[in-house]
Structure 1
Amino acid sequence: MSWQENYTKWDLFEDLDAKLREQLNKIKDNEKLLEEAFHQPLTFGTGGMRGELGPGTNRMNIYTVRKAAEGLAKYIEKQGEEAKEKGIVVAHDSRHMSPEFSLETAKVMGAHGIKTYLFTSLRPTPELSFAVRHLNASAGVVVTASHNPPEYNGYKVYNEDGGQAPPAQAEEIVKLVNEVENELLIEVASKEDLEQKGLLKWIDTEVDKAYMDALNTISLNPTVIKEQAENINIVFTPLHGTSYDLVKNGLEEFGFKNVTIVEEQAKPDPEFSTVASPNPEEHQAFTLAIEYGKKVDADLLIGTDPDADRLGVAVKTPSGDYTVLTGNQLGTLLLDYILSNTQSLPDNGLMIKTIVTSEFGQAVASHYGISTLDTLTGFKFIGEKIREYEQTGEYKFLFGYEESYGYLIKDFARDKDAVQAALLSCEMGAYWKSKGKTLLEALDDLYERHGYYLEDLHSITLKGIEGTEKIKNIMENFREEPLQNVEDLQVIAMEDYKSGTRTYLGNNKTEVIKLPKSDVIKFKLSDNCWCCLRPSGTEPKIKFYFGVKGETIQASKDRLNQLKKAVIERINKI
């Protein structure tokens, strides 16, 4: 259907939600806004869906949410009566419409006779992952747009293992979602009727307690915390999101005495009014935490994103200021801490990371005799591998992480878990303080031992129909004319994950990449350097990743700058 036909269908629908009707009337004379809102269905892909709130087929609203829920319900129905009885678990974050979208999901499920466990209030994404496993459910949904701007919301689907649905499973769900012909006419049941029939079960603190019990198992050095409890100062901000209770209570149970909360950011706020972006990857998100840190002389500042699957950590410098660690740096520190403090490492131990995550972690893992596995970007691929090796016994999972501030210490959750990471990062800080070192000094020791690995990320946001076309052009340009060299760095191989091939530029030899197909290109250069191009699956962005290794920190900085400069200059020409 054309956007005009989609718009007419909505405009003529007499029972359209009153709020959406009001919003639609406000833009009825703006053809550009109408086209953006109706030119396509909001994409429900292998990572779920995410988009701006508002009326239209290309927006997040109760009807597009019902469409997603309808596809998932049909998928569960195909699994049989037992799957329907086991039901699904639904959680939501602090965003606009998140509670409403959660209930709409339950109302669609109920119309199909599928039970829904629904949290009474907002919960972190990792607790949803845990709850699916804890309640032995068939699937899970979390309504969240993670760290996107306030005008966004999103919808992520989890499988019975508590992980985001991997490609084959996700594609089947996507197919069923796309087969829904009219999102306006999906049958829903009433909340009262579902409660009466036992198809809507409200869940609360009992799952929190079970999750907290699991969190207590990740500690490696409880005696160190006891010794340093009075000495280490921590500042914590949930950035207006979902992690406040669990991180605060977790730190208390671990034994930390001096924890200061950034009060202005403690309460849920869908506008994220104190930050430009509620993303701990963006260092400005720590502005208030740094002010608090200087007041209380904090050793560590920790911040989670709104749905608490990403963690940022800042460390006090000798000058009394604070440096925010990158995701690669914190991941490598956590990995080293886990491996060096685990009593008996298994012979088949495994660390899992993504293809755009630093090779620093692999160097550390190898030092301890631990294998490393690379997956595509997205924690669902890490979760999928955890499940596979749990079943085959080939490897024992020890740690998983990605450069975008996502970490998993223990696999009672199957998605990145900022609550776990926050607690263990504070324990790690206490451990190194007991040795007379900061996390920055511990990081320097790792650089000295393994080499100076540095990474950077450059993103370009290209919204709308024209933006999608520009992103496509950039990817095609690099495929048709591969990068050859950057000053003294030679391109050794080009990995095209869309075709599933690795081509060595010296002899044009090609080999198969044994990973799922994805629109990603990675160039491997000499001296352990690399760069990668990846359109985002959830935002109107294309991301460029860079990684280098040098014998000194300055050599690495110079190499990183020259690699970034060469790629960005080419992008600008395109």
Structure 2
Amino acid sequence: MAKNWEAVYEKWLNFENLDVSLKADLEAIKSDPKKLEDAFYQELTFGTGGIRGVLGPGTNRMNIYTVRKAVNGLAKHLLEHVVNAKQRGVAIAYDSRYMSQEFAIEAAKVLGSYGIRASVFSSLRPTPVLSYAVRYLSAAAGIMITASHNPPEYNGLKVYNEEGGQILLEEAEQITAAIQATGDELLVPVRDQKELEDEQLLRWIGEEVDRAYLEHLQGITKMEPSVLEEEKDLKIVYTPLHGTGTNLVSRGFAQLNFPHVTLVEEQTVADPEFSTVESPNPEEHQAFKLAIEYGEKVDADILLATDPDADRLGAAVKNKDGEYVVLTGNQLGSLLLDYILSHSDMNVYRNARMIKTVVTTEFGRAIADSYGVETIETLTGFKYIAEKIANFQSTGETFMFGYEESYGYLASGFTRDKDAVQASMLAAEMAYYWKSQGKSVLDALETLFEKHGYFLEGLTSLKLEGKEGSEQIAYIMEEIRERPMKEIAGMKVVTVENYVTSERTDVATGDVEIINLPKENMMKFILEDQAWVCFRPSGTEPKIKYYYGVCGNSNEDSAEKLQSIKEALDAVIAGILEK
């Protein structure tokens, strides 16, 4: 933590070699103490796999100096903990955001000062391709410059371990310690770019990794060879939301012989302002506005949208009235799971595993159970799913599918992070299969509901920015932990799960069992009638999130139950904030 923000601000302001544009930005806010304090009162936290923040000057902002400091910590960690780190090097990719390519090069310049080779993609790439590249190149680590689906003023840096997954808690703690030991972010050593290129300590990656990735991508299909070879009459509209997905998603569709793909042209432009959407987030329905217009023109069967770094996928399909309905992440994930299991060899079911997070729908568990496939639950974050996949190499278990409610899916472990390119292929394939059966995707979803129950979920995100917001989020979580609820919306709490203490408590008996997951600032309440709620602060944004799920006898029944829970939780949070 920067203890005296005024002193840190003065140090930056008086630094002789301060980047010219950052110096101008500092001058522009020098008469606004609140903005200055927010920029300097702390250092960007190395949280969920890396750093993420608003672009600008200051220790609490994304800029070349905070990037250098983070990468300096990573370099020290690699040299101490990873075998042959210098020779194996670090794979680096970046998305379409402001400063993404510049930050990628800055990362290479810091690594080069330690003699660690950086292999940097020559143009923007999706996050899953970076995950794949780490393993393909046998790199010691990976860096992805992205802020995923955050607003345009954000950027971030995600770190991947040698398995191609986002770094885990122990690795993050080691890197954090190395970052904190770095000292002055303004004085981190860097090498000259041209020198590094001449010495092969900075090399540029072209098409080689893409081609290898696409070979693996074709291997995930569940279609019979005869079906694979024929041209398919499914009409697809695809948008990359101004991000990185266009090239590989388009080539993937071509491999599977989906010729009727319409791109949302305005959104194929890699635009850091994301100028045609309020937010480049496929979780939000407004992101589909242009795709729906295109869909209506070409009578599309399915609309697909990937977020800027193409690790999340949203989908919309037609209802009986011919209107496009945006599926939730839980619904799309459950449909993909059922498609994969129904098209898999029954002999693999015994050792097969489906992985989901603790805040992902229970619908998936019900579907997996019906095939005799075991469900494994992890903490929120795809890095934990990736960790399980890596463990399967020694346990003999078979990974079938992993997903989380926030539109992240993975069908094959050749990448070790959520992969919207993979998911786009499977979503199109699944829609084509149901069309060939004379059914829509919503017909298939209704059949699953009738069989397993009408599962429905909701999420409320409360944004609380700045220093005061951080304190409010901490206070809310403390209140919920210290005074756990006994009933919510008239439904009794059956079990309380405290992930800080790793304890699961049976409310009726008081019996306690250990939760065998890493500790996390999260509270989950299991209610009667298969309902549940969960509270957790976001790892990447200044938000507290509360998730809730129900299982009713009909869509209407579930919607009513869900609304009652939402209103009850809103009242609880409002009451805590009033204190």
The TM-score by the shorter chain falls in which range?
over 0.9
Instruction: Identify unmatched segments of 5+ residues in structure 1.
Output: none
**Does 2:511 match 1:509?**
yes
Query: What is the CA–CA distance in structure 1 between the aligned matches of 2:505 and 2:81, rounded to whole Å?
Result: 41
TM (normalized to structure 1)? 0.98
| Correspondence for 2:353 | 350
Return closer, same or farther for 1:80/1:438 CA change in 2, 3 Å cut-off.
closer
Return closer, same or farther for 1:12/1:353 CA change in 2, 3 Å cut-off.
same
Q: Quick one: which of 376, 386, 406 aligns to 1:404? A: 406
Query: What is the CA–CA distance in structure 1 between the aligned matches of 2:78 and 2:229, rounded to whole Å?
Result: 50
| Correspondence for 1:165 | 167
Structure 1 residue 160, shift from structure 2 partner: 0.2
Work out the number of aligned pairs and report it. Answer: 573
| Correspondence for 2:58 | 56
Return closer, same or farther for 1:3/1:345 CA change in 2, 3 Å cut-off.
farther
Structure 1 residue 428, shift from structure 2 partner: 0.6
Query: What is the CA–CA distance in structure 2 between the aligned matches of 1:365 and 1:262, rounded to whole Å?
Result: 35
Query: What is the CA–CA distance in structure 1 between the aligned matches of 2:317 and 2:402, rounded to whole Å?
Result: 22
Q: Is the CA contact 1:225–1:255 (under 8 Å) kept in the aligned structure 2?
A: no
Query: Equivalent residue of 1:218, what SS?
Result: coil
CA RMSD of aligned residues (A): 1.2
Q: Is the CA contact 2:91–2:139 (under 8 Å) kept in the aligned structure 1?
A: yes
Query: What is the CA–CA distance in structure 2 between the aligned matches of 1:443 and 1:70, rounded to whole Å?
Result: 48
Q: Quick one: which of 375, 379, 386 aligns to 2:378? A: 375
Query: What is the CA–CA distance in structure 1 between the aligned matches of 2:128 and 2:220, rounded to whole Å?
Result: 15
Matches within 5 A, 1:164-313: 164-222=166-224, 229-313=231-315
Structure 1 counterpart of 2:570, one-letter code: I
Q: Is the CA contact 2:230–2:257 (under 8 Å) kept in the aligned structure 1?
A: no
Return closer, same or farther for 1:569/1:345 CA change in 2, 3 Å cut-off.
farther
| Correspondence for 1:126 | 128
| Correspondence for 1:337 | 339
Structure 1 residue 229, shift from structure 2 partner: 3.6
Deviations 1:105-140 (A, max 9, x none): 000000000001000010000000000000000000
Structure 1 residue 388, shift from structure 2 partner: 1.1
Structure 1 residue 81, shift from structure 2 partner: 6.5
Q: Quick one: which of 9, 20, 23 aligns to 2:22? A: 20
Return closer, same or farther for 1:320/1:572 CA change in 2, 3 Å cut-off.
same
Return closer, same or farther for 1:53/1:43 CA change in 2, 3 Å cut-off.
same
Query: What is the CA–CA distance in structure 2 between the aligned matches of 1:227 and 1:381, rounded to whole Å?
Result: 36
Q: Is the CA contact 1:224–1:430 (under 8 Å) kept in the aligned structure 2?
A: no
Query: What is the CA–CA distance in structure 2 between the aligned matches of 1:290 and 1:225, rounded to whole Å?
Result: 28
Q: Is the CA contact 1:225–1:431 (under 8 Å) kept in the aligned structure 2?
A: no
Q: Quick one: which of 31, 34, 52 aligns to 2:33? A: 31
| Correspondence for 2:71 | 69
Q: Quick one: which of 107, 113, 116 aligns to 1:114? A: 116
Deviates more, 1:288-297 or 1:313-322: 313-322
Structure 2 counterpart of 1:237, one-letter code: T
Query: What is the CA–CA distance in structure 1 between the aligned matches of 2:528 and 2:347, rounded to whole Å?
Result: 33
Structure 1 counterpart of 2:47, one-letter code: G
Instruction: Identify unmatched segments of 5+ residues in structure 2.
Output: none
Q: Is the CA contact 2:242–2:268 (under 8 Å) kept in the aligned structure 1?
A: yes
Query: What is the CA–CA distance in structure 2 between the aligned matches of 1:225 and 1:251, rounded to whole Å?
Result: 14
Structure 1 residue 482, shift from structure 2 partner: 1.0
Structure 1 counterpart of 2:325, one-letter code: T
Query: Equivalent residue of 2:84, what SS?
Result: helix
**Does 2:388 match 1:391?**
no
Q: Is the CA contact 2:355–2:375 (under 8 Å) kept in the aligned structure 1?
A: yes
Deviations 1:443-466 (A, max 9, x none): 000001111100010110000011
| Correspondence for 2:498 | 496
TM (normalized to structure 2)? 0.97
Structure 1 residue 486, shift from structure 2 partner: 2.7
**Does 2:368 match 1:365?**
yes
Structure 1 residue 263, shift from structure 2 partner: 0.3
Structure 1 residue 226, shift from structure 2 partner: 5.1
Query: Equivalent residue of 1:444, what SS?
Result: helix
Q: Quick one: which of 422, 438, 441 aligns to 2:440? A: 438
| Correspondence for 1:553 | 555
Structure 1 residue 494, shift from structure 2 partner: 0.9
Query: What is the CA–CA distance in structure 2 between the aligned matches of 1:274 and 1:48, rounded to whole Å?
Result: 28
Matches within 5 A, 1:554-573: 554-573=556-575
Deviations 1:335-371 (A, max 9, x none): 0000000124421100000000000000000000000
Query: What is the CA–CA distance in structure 2 between the aligned matches of 1:259 and 1:353, rounded to whole Å?
Result: 31
User: Post-superposition, which runs of at least 4 consecutive aligned residues in structure 1 deviate over 2 A?
Assistant: 222-231
Query: Equivalent residue of 2:219, what SS?
Result: helix
Q: Is the CA contact 2:548–2:562 (under 8 Å) kept in the aligned structure 1?
A: yes
Query: Equivalent residue of 2:43, what SS?
Result: coil
Query: What is the CA–CA distance in structure 2 between the aligned matches of 1:89 and 1:80, rounded to whole Å?
Result: 15
Deviations 1:503-538 (A, max 9, x none): 222122221111001000000001111000010010
Identity %: 55
Structure 1 residue 231, shift from structure 2 partner: 2.2
Query: Equivalent residue of 1:319, what SS?
Result: coil
| Correspondence for 2:419 | 417
Deviations 1:407-434 (A, max 9, x none): 0000000000000000110011100000
Return closer, same or farther for 1:92/1:260 CA change in 2, 3 Å cut-off.
same
Return closer, same or farther for 1:132/1:5 CA change in 2, 3 Å cut-off.
same
Query: What is the CA–CA distance in structure 1 between the aligned matches of 2:515 and 2:463, rounded to whole Å?
Result: 29
| Correspondence for 1:530 | 532
Query: What is the CA–CA distance in structure 2 between the aligned matches of 1:230 and 1:445, rounded to whole Å?
Result: 24
Structure 1 residue 71, shift from structure 2 partner: 0.3
Deviates more, 1:142-151 or 1:337-346: 337-346
Structure 2 counterpart of 1:277, one-letter code: S
Structure 1 residue 570, shift from structure 2 partner: 1.2
Deviations 1:154-208 (A, max 9, x none): 0100000000011111211111112111000011001111111111110011111
Q: Is the CA contact 1:224–1:431 (under 8 Å) kept in the aligned structure 2?
A: no
Q: Is the CA contact 1:474–1:571 (under 8 Å) kept in the aligned structure 2?
A: yes
Structure 1 counterpart of 2:176, one-letter code: V
Structure 1 counterpart of 2:351, one-letter code: N
Query: What is the CA–CA distance in structure 1 between the aligned matches of 2:224 and 2:290, rounded to whole Å?
Result: 30
Structure 1 counterpart of 2:304, one-letter code: I
Query: What is the CA–CA distance in structure 2 between the aligned matches of 1:32 and 1:565, rounded to whole Å?
Result: 34
